[in-house]
Protein backbone atom coordinates (compact mmCIF):
# COMPACT_ATOMS: atom_id res chain seq x y z
CA UNK A 1 0.00 0.00 0.00
CA UNK A 2 1.44 3.33 -1.10
CA UNK A 3 0.58 6.28 1.13
CA UNK A 4 0.49 9.63 -0.65
CA UNK A 5 1.84 12.41 1.56
CA UNK A 6 -0.09 15.69 1.32
CA UNK A 7 -0.82 18.62 3.68
CA UNK A 8 -3.93 16.90 5.09
CA UNK A 9 -1.88 13.83 6.01
CA UNK A 10 0.69 16.17 7.59
CA UNK A 11 -2.08 17.77 9.69
CA UNK A 12 -3.39 14.38 10.80
CA UNK A 13 0.14 13.26 11.68
CA UNK A 14 0.64 16.37 13.83
CA UNK A 15 -2.68 15.84 15.60
CA UNK A 16 -1.82 12.17 16.17
CA UNK A 17 1.64 13.07 17.48
CA UNK A 18 0.30 15.47 20.09
CA UNK A 19 -2.44 13.17 21.44
CA UNK A 20 -1.45 9.64 20.41
CA UNK A 21 -2.47 6.55 22.32
CA UNK A 22 -1.02 3.05 22.50
CA UNK A 23 -3.90 1.33 20.73
CA UNK A 24 -3.86 1.37 16.94
CA UNK A 25 -3.78 4.75 15.27
CA UNK A 26 -5.73 7.13 17.44
CA UNK A 27 -5.91 9.97 19.91
CA UNK A 28 -7.36 10.75 23.29
CA UNK A 29 -9.11 14.00 24.03
CA UNK A 30 -12.35 15.91 24.11
CA UNK A 31 -15.21 15.36 21.71
CA UNK A 32 -14.14 18.13 19.32
CA UNK A 33 -10.65 16.62 18.92
CA UNK A 34 -12.17 13.18 18.45
CA UNK A 35 -14.60 14.46 15.85
CA UNK A 36 -11.79 16.18 13.92
CA UNK A 37 -9.64 13.03 14.02
CA UNK A 38 -12.47 10.81 12.79
CA UNK A 39 -13.49 13.16 9.96
CA UNK A 40 -9.87 13.68 8.84
CA UNK A 41 -9.11 9.94 8.96
CA UNK A 42 -12.21 9.14 6.90
CA UNK A 43 -11.69 11.98 4.41
CA UNK A 44 -7.88 11.92 4.09
CA UNK A 45 -6.94 8.29 4.63
CA UNK A 46 -10.14 6.67 3.36
CA UNK A 47 -10.74 4.72 6.58
CA UNK A 48 -14.26 3.24 6.57
CA UNK A 49 -16.42 4.74 9.35
CA UNK A 50 -17.27 1.30 10.72
CA UNK A 51 -13.55 0.68 11.44
CA UNK A 52 -13.36 3.63 13.85
CA UNK A 53 -13.58 2.61 17.50
CA UNK A 54 -14.44 4.82 20.47
CA UNK A 55 -13.57 3.87 24.05
CA UNK A 56 -14.20 6.64 26.56
CA UNK A 57 -12.03 9.60 25.62
CA UNK A 58 -10.12 7.59 22.98
CA UNK A 59 -10.88 7.18 19.31
CA UNK A 60 -8.80 4.94 17.06
CA UNK A 61 -8.60 2.45 14.23
CA UNK A 62 -6.26 -0.45 13.60
CA UNK A 63 -3.94 -0.18 10.62
CA UNK A 64 -0.30 -1.15 11.08
CA UNK A 65 0.89 0.53 7.86
CA UNK A 66 -0.52 3.92 8.87
CA UNK A 67 0.87 3.59 12.40
CA UNK A 68 4.35 2.84 11.05
CA UNK A 69 4.05 5.64 8.49
CA UNK A 70 3.05 8.20 11.15
CA UNK A 71 5.88 7.03 13.42
CA UNK A 72 8.39 7.42 10.57
CA UNK A 73 7.14 10.93 9.76
CA UNK A 74 7.44 11.94 13.43
CA UNK A 75 10.93 10.42 13.68
CA UNK A 76 12.09 12.29 10.57
CA UNK A 77 10.10 15.51 11.06
CA UNK A 78 13.13 17.81 10.93
CA UNK A 79 14.12 16.40 7.54
CA UNK A 80 10.59 16.23 6.12
CA UNK A 81 9.44 19.67 7.28
CA UNK A 82 12.57 21.72 6.70
CA UNK A 83 10.90 24.33 4.49
CA UNK A 84 8.13 26.78 5.28
CA UNK A 85 5.38 25.30 3.12
CA UNK A 86 1.87 23.89 3.42
CA UNK A 87 3.17 20.55 4.70
CA UNK A 88 5.10 22.07 7.63
CA UNK A 89 2.33 24.55 8.47
CA UNK A 90 -0.32 21.82 8.52
CA UNK A 91 1.88 19.59 10.68
CA UNK A 92 2.32 22.41 13.23
CA UNK A 93 -1.41 23.22 13.00
CA UNK A 94 -2.19 19.60 13.86
CA UNK A 95 0.11 19.77 16.88
CA UNK A 96 -1.45 23.10 17.93
CA UNK A 97 -4.96 21.69 17.60
CA UNK A 98 -3.83 18.80 19.79
CA UNK A 99 -1.98 20.64 22.55
CA UNK A 100 -2.16 24.37 21.84
CA UNK A 101 -3.59 27.01 24.16
CA UNK A 102 -4.62 30.61 23.59
CA UNK A 103 -4.60 32.50 26.90
CA UNK A 104 -6.86 35.52 26.32
CA UNK A 105 -6.17 36.97 29.73
CA UNK A 106 -2.40 37.18 29.28
CA UNK A 107 -2.37 37.51 25.51
CA UNK A 108 -0.19 34.42 25.19
CA UNK A 109 -0.12 31.52 22.73
CA UNK A 110 1.65 28.33 23.73
CA UNK A 111 1.98 24.58 23.25
CA UNK A 112 1.68 22.33 26.29
CA UNK A 113 3.39 19.18 25.00
CA UNK A 114 6.06 19.62 22.36
CA UNK A 115 9.46 18.12 21.79
CA UNK A 116 12.71 19.92 21.08
CA UNK A 117 12.29 18.94 17.43
CA UNK A 118 8.89 20.68 17.34
CA UNK A 119 10.40 23.80 18.86
CA UNK A 120 13.19 23.76 16.27
CA UNK A 121 10.60 23.33 13.53
CA UNK A 122 8.74 26.41 14.81
CA UNK A 123 12.03 28.35 14.75
CA UNK A 124 12.69 27.20 11.18
CA UNK A 125 9.28 28.51 10.18
CA UNK A 126 10.40 31.93 11.38
CA UNK A 127 8.49 31.90 14.67
CA UNK A 128 10.34 32.93 17.81
CA UNK A 129 9.73 30.62 20.75
CA UNK A 130 10.56 30.50 24.42
CA UNK A 131 10.44 27.37 26.58
CA UNK A 132 9.17 27.99 30.10
CA UNK A 133 8.74 24.86 32.15
CA UNK A 134 7.12 22.25 29.95
CA UNK A 135 5.43 24.82 27.71
CA UNK A 136 6.68 26.47 24.53
CA UNK A 137 5.43 30.03 24.10
CA UNK A 138 5.29 31.89 20.80
CA UNK A 139 6.98 35.21 21.55
CA UNK A 140 4.79 38.29 21.28
CA UNK A 141 6.58 39.66 18.22
CA UNK A 142 5.66 36.53 16.23
CA UNK A 143 2.07 35.95 17.36
CA UNK A 144 0.57 37.84 14.36
CA UNK A 145 2.67 35.77 11.93
CA UNK A 146 1.73 32.57 13.79
CA UNK A 147 -1.96 33.50 13.64
CA UNK A 148 -1.76 34.32 9.93
CA UNK A 149 -0.28 30.89 9.18
CA UNK A 150 -2.37 28.81 11.58
CA UNK A 151 -5.82 30.28 10.93
CA UNK A 152 -5.70 28.80 7.41
CA UNK A 153 -4.75 25.32 8.62
CA UNK A 154 -6.41 24.80 12.01
CA UNK A 155 -9.55 22.68 12.33
CA UNK A 156 -10.56 23.35 15.99
CA UNK A 157 -13.13 26.13 15.84
CA UNK A 158 -12.79 27.09 19.52
CA UNK A 159 -9.04 27.68 19.18
CA UNK A 160 -9.51 29.49 15.87
CA UNK A 161 -12.04 31.89 17.35
CA UNK A 162 -9.88 32.59 20.42
CA UNK A 163 -6.80 33.24 18.26
CA UNK A 164 -8.81 35.53 15.97
CA UNK A 165 -10.21 37.42 18.97
CA UNK A 166 -6.71 37.83 20.40
CA UNK A 167 -5.50 39.34 17.13
CA UNK A 168 -8.48 41.71 16.97
CA UNK A 169 -7.95 42.87 20.55
CA UNK A 170 -4.34 43.88 19.97
CA UNK A 171 -3.51 42.18 23.27
CA UNK A 172 -0.86 39.83 21.87
CA UNK A 173 1.94 40.15 24.36
CA UNK A 174 4.20 37.73 26.15
CA UNK A 175 3.92 38.23 29.91
CA UNK A 176 7.33 36.72 30.50
Domain containing residue 35 = 7-78
Question: Same domain, yes or no, for 100 and 163?
Answer: yes
Task: Please give the tally of structural domains in the chain.
Answer: 2
Q: Are 159 and 102 in contact (CB under 8 A)?
A: yes
Q: What is the pTM of this model?
A: 0.89
pLDDT digits (tens, 9 = 90+) for 29-41: 888 889 999 999 9
The last residue of one of the domains, among 51, 78, 105, is 78
Tens digit of pLDDT for each residue in 136-163?
999 888 888 888 888 888 888 888 888 8
Residues 146 and 162 in one domain: yes
CATH of the domain at 157: 3.10.28.10
- pLDDT category of residue 175 using cuts at 50, 70 and 90: very low
Q: Give one DSSP letter per residue of 1-46, joined into a string.
A: -PPPP-HHHHHHHHHHHHHB-SSSEEEE--HHHHHHHHHHIIIII-
In a domain, 176, yes or no: no
Domain boundary among 25, 45, 78: 78
Residues 32 and 100 in one domain: no
Where b means 16+ CB within 10 Å and e means fewer, 86-110 reads bbbbbbbbbbbbbbbebeeeebbbb
The pLDDT, as a whole number, for residue 1 is 62
Q: Is 130 helix (H, G, I), strand (E, B) or coil?
A: strand
Q: What is the pLDDT, as a whole number, of residue 176? A: 45
- Does residue 95 have a pLDDT over 50? yes
pLDDT number for residue 171:
53
Amino acid sequence: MKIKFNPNVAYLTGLWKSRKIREGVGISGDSEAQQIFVSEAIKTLGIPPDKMQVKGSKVFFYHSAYRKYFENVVDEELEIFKWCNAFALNFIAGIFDGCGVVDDERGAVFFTRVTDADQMLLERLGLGTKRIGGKVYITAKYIPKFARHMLQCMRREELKSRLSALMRSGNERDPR
